[in-house]
Amino acid sequence: MPRFRHILDTMAAYKPGKAVATSDGRSYKLSSNESPYDPLPSVVGAIAEAARQVNRYPDPGAIKLTEAIAERFGVPVEHIALGAGSVTVAQQLFETVGEPGVEVVYAWRSFEAYPLLADLAGVTSVRVPLAGEDHDLDAMAEAITDRTRMVFVCNPNNPTGTAIRRAALEAFLDRVPEHVLVVLDEAYREYVRDEDVPDGLTLYRDRPNVCVLRTFSKAYGLAGLRVGFVVGPEPVATAVRKTIIPFAVNHIAQAAAIASLKAEDELLERVERVVKERTRVHESLLAQGWTVPHSEANFVWLRLGERTLDFAAACAAEGVAVRPFEGEGARVSIGDPEANDAFLAVAKKYPHR
């Protein structure tokens, strides 16, 4: 047998959200935090036009897309690095710091790809337990040692949906040594409605060790095309660009992302519909007697403990796919009203008081 890295014997592969269906064909996929809406016609048109050119390699530097992002968010092009989805950009960030003995700090539970990416990069994960459903920023600051190279802060947090407010986040950033890179993972930023939750792009400019991770997969509805980016000080962006696989962001993905930025007003109307549905789902669950943390993302979190897999099975029996984390809880994406009603019907019947 060929010899492989020992870490592969101990690490679990990433488990994406699954779809389920009943015998009569009912299927509501609320397990992957996807947009419930089809791409806008203008985006579909851009995709169709770009498809005529797939015999050619894409622009390796994604120059037009980088310029469009820079213009939209008011940042220098030199501060942007792209990748095939924010999870791949996160992998690139791990690779920029990954060396034997290096530690990376993050909350747990948080985005489940963090441990996988850390293992693949050969770094040591330092998982800091949540305080209830929230980041324990004091404990995270205390977990930083002279071996720490990077800290991930998922804001809003996946899977709990909770968000860190400005004063707490700024106080934490003040405690992080300047040589430690802080990554603000803001995959769900567009769904935030609490005005006291800061936009990371307003924080990084005065902090040379802070960068911001964003994606086109959620609010922009391009999960199937894989486009993500990081915004950070020029040395950070330059380092991340060195780790990208050539042509990682394909031609169609670049065209679709540019078209999505142009159609942002329409897209954000759809985001607002999701936010209203989030409020409706949250209030309905509270009325049913559930304890549900306030979410600033496009999903809600149910702390179910040992009943998690049983609840997921009850949902699946009605054609509703949720994302269970065994022994902890279930994350339920916000879908269209029909899908949300199907989930709420299961939640109402499930013993929870």
What pLDDT sits at residue 217?
A: 96
What pLDDT sits at residue 19?
A: 83
* Residue 278 tokens, joined: 């989030």
What pLDDT sits at residue 289?
A: 97
What pLDDT sits at residue 346?
A: 98
What pLDDT sits at residue 22?
A: 78
Q: How many CA atoms lie within 13 A of 180 on its CB side?
A: 26
Q: How far is CA 232 from CA 184, 190, 192, 300, 307, in A?
A: 10, 19, 21, 29, 41
Q: Verify that 64 and 17 share a domain, yes or no.
A: no
pLDDT in tens, 49-75: 999 999 999 999 999 999 999 999 999
> 95 lies in which domain range?
41-261
Q: Verify that 116 and 255 share a domain, yes or no.
A: yes
Q: Verify that 130 and 268 share a domain, yes or no.
A: no
In a domain, 53, yes or no: yes
Q: Verify that 318 and 220 share a domain, yes or no.
A: no
Q: Verify that 47 and 191 share a domain, yes or no.
A: yes
Task: Output b/e per residue, 254-287; b: 16+ Cβ within 10 A.
Answer: bbbbbbbbbbeeebeebbeebbebbeebbebbee
Helices 86-97/234-242 angle, 10° precision: 100
Q: What is the mean pLDDT of the chain?
A: 96
Residue 17, pLDDT above cutoff 90: no
pLDDT in tens, 332-346: 999 999 999 999 999
In a domain, 255, yes or no: yes
Q: Rounded to whole angstroms, how far apart are CA atoms 327 and 184?
A: 27
In a domain, 183, yes or no: yes
Q: Verify that 74 and 186 share a domain, yes or no.
A: yes
Q: Verify that 91 and 189 share a domain, yes or no.
A: yes
What pLDDT sits at residue 21?
A: 74
Residue 171, pLDDT above cutoff 90: yes
Q: Which of 233, 261, 289 is the last residue of a domain?
A: 261
What pLDDT sits at residue 327?
A: 97
How big is the chain by its Cα radius of gyration, in Å? 20
Residue whose entry in the numeric block shows the structure tokens 């169709």: 48
Q: Verify that 239 and 288 share a domain, yes or no.
A: no
Average pLDDT over residues 310-316: 98
Residue 192, pLDDT above cutoff 90: yes
Asked if 281 and 334 count as a contact pair (C-beta separation under 8 A), the reply is: yes
Q: How many CA atoms lie within 13 A of 63 on its CB side?
A: 1
Angle, CA 16 vertex, CA 15 and CA 21 arms, to 5°: 115
Residue 307, pLDDT above cutoff 80: yes
What pLDDT sits at residue 146?
A: 97
Q: Verify that 24 and 78 share a domain, yes or no.
A: no
In a domain, 204, yes or no: yes
Q: Which of 243, 261, 279 is the last residue of a domain?
A: 261
CATH number at residue 20: 3.90.1150.10
What pLDDT sits at residue 12?
A: 74
Q: Which of 252, 256, 258, 241 is nearest to 67 (CA)?
A: 258
> Total domain count for the chain?
2
pTM of the model: 0.95
Q: Verify that 176 and 284 share a domain, yes or no.
A: no
Q: Verify that 201 and 220 share a domain, yes or no.
A: yes
Q: Which of 261, 286, 307 is the last residue of a domain?
A: 261
Q: State the pLDDT confidence band at 302, using cuts at 50, 70 and 90.
A: very high
What pLDDT sits at residue 4?
A: 83
In a domain, 30, yes or no: yes
Q: Rounded to whole angstroms, how far apart are CA atoms 141 and 128?
A: 10
| Number of residues written out for the chain | 353
Residue whose entry in the numeric block shows the structure tokens 């999903």: 299
Residue 353, pLDDT above cutoff 80: no
Residues whose CB falls within 8 Å of the CB of residue 349, separated by 6 or more in sequence, listed in order: 314
Q: State the pLDDT confidence band at 227, using cuts at 50, 70 and 90.
A: very high
In a domain, 1, yes or no: no
Average pLDDT over residues 128-144: 98
In this predicted model, which residue has the larger pLDDT, 21 or 220? Answer: 220
Q: State the pLDDT confidence band at 20, using cuts at 50, 70 and 90.
A: confident
Supply the DSSP string of 298-309, one letter for each residue.
Answer: SEEEEE-GGGHH
In a domain, 300, yes or no: yes
Percent helix, percent strand, percent coil in the chain, to nearest 5: 40, 15, 40
Residue 251, pLDDT above cutoff 90: yes
Residues whose CB falls within 8 Å of the CB of residue 25, separated by 6 or more in sequence, listed in order: none
Q: Verify that 169 and 120 share a domain, yes or no.
A: yes
CATH number at residue 63: 3.40.640.10
Q: Rounded to whole angstroms, how far apart are CA atoms 22 and 81?
A: 43
